[in-house]
Each structure stands twice: as C-alpha cells, then as structure tokens.
Structure 1
Amino acid sequence: MYTEILRIIEGGLNKDIKKINNYARILADKLEKDGDGKLAKLIINALDNKPSSMVSMDSLLSSPVDQESRMSIVDITMPIKNDGEVVLPPNIANKVNDYINLYSHQNELIKNGLEISNSLLLYGIPGGGKTTIAKYIAYKTGLPLITARFDAIVSSLLGNTSKNIRKIFEFADEKPCILFLDEFDAIAKARDDQYELGELKRVINSLLQNIDTFSKSNLLIAATNHPELLDKAIWRRFNTVIEVGLPNQNETERLVVNFIRGLDNDFLGDEKKLNRIIHNLEGKTPSFIKTLFNNILAQKIIRKKETLSYEDVLIEIFESNHKDFSNEELIVFLNESGISQERITQIMNISIRQVRNNLKTK
C-alpha cells in the first residue's frame, strides 16, 4: 500500500487529479481485500462525491496569457455531440480507438504496474481531419480540449516563448483535459535547422522537458502538416503516431451523407448521380468537402429551396475547382455530368441555341 500512498501524494503535489483518483481507488480495493471495508468505503465515497472528470469553469476561465501582448495563449472548448460524428478510414479509426481505450482503461493498466504516456502525434495533409480527430477524442473521453495558440505563444521577447510553453503545460497539468498542440512544427522544428535562431532552438529543449513532465493522466495530442520539419527527439515522445491522409471513395460518400443528413435531395437515391458527385470529389480533403456543402446548404436556405439538387452540388464543385472559368466550360461540365441541354438553359438562364452551339464546338 506504500506505493499507492506515495503515488497519491505525488498526484497531490502535482495537482494531478486523475492520478490521485486512480491510486486512491487501488488503495481502497486493497483495503477492502485486507478486511478494512469501512475505510475503503470512506475513500470511494469521497472520490464519488468529487468526480475527477469534472472541470470547473473558473479553472478554465483563468487561462494563461502572453506577458508581452496579454493575449490568451490557449483556446478552451468543451466537447459537443457533433464532435462524435466523424468519418475515418478503418486503420485510422482502429488506432484512434486504441488510443482512447488506453485512457479509458487507465485504472486497469495501473493495477497491473503499467503507466503509459497518453501522447498522440497526428501528421498529414492540411484539411485531412487532424483537428476533427482531436475533437472526436475529446467527445469520447468527455474531456475539455485546451488548444495552444502558437500565434500568441511565439513572443518577440527573448525567453518569453519558452515561458509561454511552460505556462500552457502547467495550466493543462492542473485539471483533467486534453492538451492539443496544433500546427506543432511552429515550435518543434529540428534543432539542426541552420536557418533557425538560437532562441528557437532553446525552445525545443523547453518543449521536450515539458512533454516529459506532463501528467501521465491527461492526454497530449500534437498535429502537424509538416512532419519532415520536426526534431528527431520529438518523435520519441509520442507513444501513438498516426498519418492522416485523403479519404477514399467510400469515406467520401459517408462524408457527403453526413453533411446532408435529413435534407430532401434528388441524388442520394440515384446511384449514377451519387457516383458522379463522389468522382468529382476524388482527391479532396474532408475540410474541402465540409466547406463545399456548407456553402451549398447556405445558398439553399437563402434561395428558400426545398430540395437540394444534383445540379447545385455539381455547380459548387465546379466553381470551387475553377476560380476563373467561362460559361462555355461550365456548359460542357454539366452536359458531361448528365444534365440535359434543356435543364442547362434553365440553370444558366441562356438560350438552347447557345448551349447547342457551345457543345458543337467542344
């Protein structure tokens, strides 16, 4: 029992509520087995009356600021239901769920002598869904997401950047949460980069020290679009590393279905139309697809249209892919996508002769 008492004291000194909770429950379990059920019950009652997963809004509102600019250096968001609706490739979904399970089964792991650092590094293309994954993990664990603001962290005052990093880790250490380091390469660049200043190289050392001492009971997630820029020592600090890439056809279809769920449309029940939409979204990120459908749905509301049409989606895709285009190019695209000449005249408010002449010269 001495080990549990020592760990509880360590947790108290470090304000690590999760660690206190985990080892106090282990201690109560051992006391129960040794015949001291009364004390065991008192410990469990004390823990249950003060849930470790609850984070007071006061503690969240007193967020750290940069000394020079007085800007807040973190953004804090609470998980919401929409964060639980994600589309992930099976291999990534499995890795993410394994990571969540490490946190969910922390008590069991500790009982068996294992203390695993709950750190995750996400890397891949911009807009691929790294932030979405972080929010999904917050939703599944019920933990607030504390996102470091690197625009405010990097200070012009010598030494302040390292101080800001320490402030963020100390703030996140004090409460059950997920610390999310987005655009991680902004402060985690390789120390052998000849173009970086000496101060920024010292920032890496500060970052590594803070990662090493960060509470094992909390979650640490970092994300970058540029993994090739990261310092080699950074990679060793993360137990789980996941590459986030482009969605395949099935995942793209699931994204489309999610974005228009519950809305009247004329293409989800038409395999040929749906396949054409999916084909035109090939190579696009989840972020691109989300923005695309947000724009489409906004126009539907503004124009008071009852049904979301196949043509609406095609035109938005075409315009998103072609910043400068002619009417002739749009006519060809719509025609090749199965839209009749008569319908094109209605959509574009032009004559049938213009449509036919354009298609003849194609």
Structure 2
Amino acid sequence: MYTEILRIIEGGLNKDLKKINNYSRILAEKFEKEGQPKLAKMIIKTLENKPSSMVTMDSLISTPVDQESRMNIVDIQMPSENNDDIILSPNIYNKVEDYINLYQHQGELLKNGLEISNSLLLYGVPGSGKTTIAKYISNKTGLPLITARFDAIVSSLLGNTSKNIRKIFEYADEKPCILFLDEFDAIAKARDDQYELGELKRVINSLLQNIDTFSKSNLLIGATNHPELLDKAIWRRFNTLIEVGLPNQNEVYKLIETFSKDSNNDFLNDEKKTNKLIQNLEGKTPSYIKTLFNNVLAQKIIKNKEYLSYEDILLEIFESKNKEYTIEDIITFLNENGVSQEKITQILNISIRQVRNNLKTK
C-alpha cells in the first residue's frame, strides 16, 4: 500500500489527475481484499463524485502563448459524443484500437506492475487521415485534444522556441488530455542536417527531454508527412508506430458511401456506376475524396437539385485532375465512364452531332 500512497501523493504534487485516479482505485481494491470494504467504498465514491478524467473547457482557457508574437501556441478541441467508427484498413484500425485499449486499461496494467508508454507516432502521405485518427482517439477516450501550433512555436527569436515547447508540455501535463504534435517534423528534423542552425538542433534536444518527462497518464500523439526527416532519437520515443496509407478499393467504396448516404443519389445502388467511381478515386486520399464530395454537395444545394448525380461527381473528378482541358476531353471522359451520348449533350449543353463527331475521331 505504501507504493500506491506514494504514487497518489506524486500525482497530487504534479497535478496528474489520471495517476491519482489509477492508484486510488488500486488502493481501494487492496483495502477490499484485506477486509476493509467500507474504506474501499469511500475511496471509490470519492472518485466517482469527482471524476478525474473530466476536463471542462473552463479549465483549458488559459492557454500558453508565444512571448514575442503573443499568439496561442496550442489549439484545443473537446471530445465529441459522436463515436462512429472511422474508415481504415483492418490492420490500421486494429492498431488504433489496441492503442486506445492500452489507455483504457491503464489501471489494470499498473496494478500488475506494467507501465506502458502512452506515445503514438502516425506517419504517411498528406491527407491520409492522421489528424482524423487523433480526433477519433480523443472521442473514444473522452480526452480533449491539445494540438501544438508549430507556426507559432517556432519563434523568430530562436531561443524562445525551446521555451515554447516546454510551455506546451507543462500545460498538457496539468490535466488529462491528448497532446497532439501534428506535422512535427517542423521541429524534429535529424540533428545531422548540415543546413540546420545549431540553435534549431538544440530545439530537438529540448523536444526529446520534454517527451521523456511527459506524464505517463496522458496520451502523446505525433504525426508527420515526412518520416524520413525525423531524428532517429524521435522514433525511439514512440511506443506505437502506425503508417497510415492510402485506402484500398473497399475503403474507397466506404468513403463514397459515407459522404453520399445522406443525399438522394443515383449510383450507390448501381454497381457499374459505383465501380467506375471507385476506379477513378483509387489512389486518392480520404481528404481528397471528402473535399470532392463536399464540393458536389455544395453545388447540389446551391442549384437546388433533387439528387446527387453520378455525372456531377464524374465532372468534379475530371476537373480536379485536369487544369487545362477542352470540351472534347470532357466528352471522351464521360463516354469512357458509361455516360450516354444523350446525357452528355444535356450536361454540356451541346448538340448530339458534336458529341458523335468527337467520339468518331477518337
């Protein structure tokens, strides 16, 4: 019991509410086993009356700022009650769920003498869903997401950059939360980069020190589009590594379904049309697909259309892929994707002869 009491005191001195909660529950279990159920119930009742995992927006108002610019150096997003699953490959999804389970069973792990690292590094191409995963973890755990703003952290007064990093970690240490270092290759580049200034290399040392001393009761998530730039020591600081790749055909279909299911459409129940859309969107990021559907849906609302059409989506795909094109290019593209000649004339407001003459020359 002395260990649990010591840990609870440490948690109180460091304002580590999660640590207090975990070790208090372990202590209550020990009292229960040793024949002191009343004391055990008192501890549990106290914890339930003052849930240590609860963080209100009020407690997050006084955010740290850069000394020079006075800009906030973190953004805060409270967890949403929307816990819908995200669209990921089974392998990535399972890794994310395993990471969440480590946090949710932290008390049991501590009870058995295990202190598992709370750090996760997400890496992959831009728009692949790294930020979405961080928000999903926030919603699942009920922890607010504190995102470091590296545009404000990297001060023109280089000596302040390390101070800003320390401010962020100290701020996140004070309350149950997820500290999210998004695109943090901006300050975590390899120290052997000959083009970097000595001061910036010292920034990495500061980052490493703060990661090492960060509260084990909170979650630390890093994300980067350029894993090849990261300092080798950074990789060793993260217990869980997840490469977030591009969606496969099945995942592309789920994304199409998700972004269009709330609107009347003429393609989800048409296998040929759906397959054509999947072929055109394969190799694209979830962010790209979401933006594309948002654009089409916006035009649907503005033009007061009754339903979301297959042809509207095809046109948006074509225009997003081609900066310069002719009317003949559009005719060919629509025809190759199964749009009838009559429908093409209606969409492009041209004659059937023009459509036929263009297709004959191809």
TM-score normalised by length of structure 2: 0.98
What letter corresponds to residue 32 of structure 2 in structure 1?
E
- The residue that corresponds to 1:175 in the other structure is 175
C-alpha deviation, 1:358, in angstroms? 1.1
- The residue that corresponds to 2:274 in the other structure is 274
Q: In structure 2, how many angstroms separate the alpha carbons of the residues matched to 1:88 and 1:159?
A: 41
What letter corresponds to residue 306 of structure 1 in structure 2?
E
Q: In structure 1, how many angstroms separate the alpha carbons of the residues matched to 2:171 and 2:153?
A: 14
Q: Helix, strand or coil: the match of 2:158?
A: coil
What letter corresponds to residue 14 of structure 1 in structure 2?
N
C-alpha deviation, 1:85, in angstroms? 4.0
C-alpha deviation, 1:192, in angstroms? 0.7
Q: Helix, strand or coil: the match of 1:84?
A: coil
C-alpha deviation, 1:10, in angstroms? 1.1
- The residue that corresponds to 2:210 in the other structure is 210
The C-alpha deviation readout for 1:42-94, integer Å capped at 9, x for no partner, is 21111111001111222211111000000000000012255634100000001
C-alpha deviation, 1:360, in angstroms? 1.4
The C-alpha deviation readout for 1:312-351, integer Å capped at 9, x for no partner, is 1111110111121111100000011111111111000011
* 8 Å contact kept, 1:75–1:146: yes
- The residue that corresponds to 1:109 in the other structure is 109
Q: Helix, strand or coil: the match of 2:179?
A: strand
The answer to whether residue 136 in structure 2 is matched with residue 157 in structure 1 is: no
- The residue that corresponds to 1:324 in the other structure is 324
Q: In structure 2, how many angstroms separate the alpha carbons of the residues matched to 1:306 and 1:52?
A: 49
Q: In structure 2, how many angstroms separate the alpha carbons of the residues matched to 1:313 and 1:48?
A: 51
Q: In structure 1, how many angstroms separate the alpha carbons of the residues matched to 2:199 and 2:267?
A: 56
Change over 3 Å in CA distance of 1:336–1:220 after alignment to 2: same
Equivalent residues in 2 for 1:115-194, closer than 5 Å: 115-194=115-194
Q: In structure 2, how many angstroms separate the alpha carbons of the residues matched to 1:316 and 1:335?
A: 15
Q: Percent identity?
A: 80
The C-alpha deviation readout for 1:98-128, integer Å capped at 9, x for no partner, is 0000001111101100111110000010110
The answer to whether residue 33 in structure 2 is matched with residue 9 in structure 1 is: no
* 8 Å contact kept, 1:118–1:216: yes
Pairs aligned (count): 362
- The residue that corresponds to 1:308 in the other structure is 308
Q: In structure 2, how many angstroms separate the alpha carbons of the residues matched to 1:236 and 1:84?
A: 32
Q: In structure 1, how many angstroms separate the alpha carbons of the residues matched to 2:340 and 2:116?
A: 60
- The residue that corresponds to 1:98 in the other structure is 98
Q: In structure 1, how many angstroms separate the alpha carbons of the residues matched to 2:81 and 2:63?
A: 24
C-alpha deviation, 1:263, in angstroms? 1.5
What letter corresponds to residue 242 of structure 2 in structure 1?
I
Change over 3 Å in CA distance of 1:90–1:197 after alignment to 2: same
- The residue that corresponds to 1:242 in the other structure is 242
- The residue that corresponds to 2:231 in the other structure is 231
* 8 Å contact kept, 2:76–2:144: yes
The C-alpha deviation readout for 1:289-325, integer Å capped at 9, x for no partner, is 0000000100010011111111011111101111211
Q: In structure 2, how many angstroms separate the alpha carbons of the residues matched to 1:253 and 1:106?
A: 36
C-alpha deviation, 1:29, in angstroms? 1.2
Change over 3 Å in CA distance of 1:85–1:296 after alignment to 2: farther
Q: In structure 1, how many angstroms separate the alpha carbons of the residues matched to 2:282 and 2:40?
A: 58
C-alpha deviation, 1:38, in angstroms? 2.5
- The residue that corresponds to 1:30 in the other structure is 30
Compare 214-223 and 28-37 and name the one that shifted more.
Answer: 28-37
Structure 1: unaligned runs, 5 residues or longer: none
Structure 2: unaligned runs, 5 residues or longer: none
* 8 Å contact kept, 1:83–1:135: no
What letter corresponds to residue 84 of structure 1 in structure 2?
D
Q: In structure 2, how many angstroms separate the alpha carbons of the residues matched to 1:47 and 1:15?
A: 15
* 8 Å contact kept, 1:84–1:139: no
C-alpha deviation, 1:174, in angstroms? 0.7
* 8 Å contact kept, 1:84–1:140: no
Change over 3 Å in CA distance of 1:203–1:83 after alignment to 2: farther
Give the CA RMSD over aligned residues: 1.0
TM-score normalised by length of structure 1: 0.98
Q: In structure 2, how many angstroms separate the alpha carbons of the residues matched to 1:58 and 1:67?
A: 23
Q: Helix, strand or coil: the match of 2:72?
A: coil
* 8 Å contact kept, 2:158–2:200: no
Q: In structure 2, how many angstroms separate the alpha carbons of the residues matched to 1:345 and 1:15?
A: 68
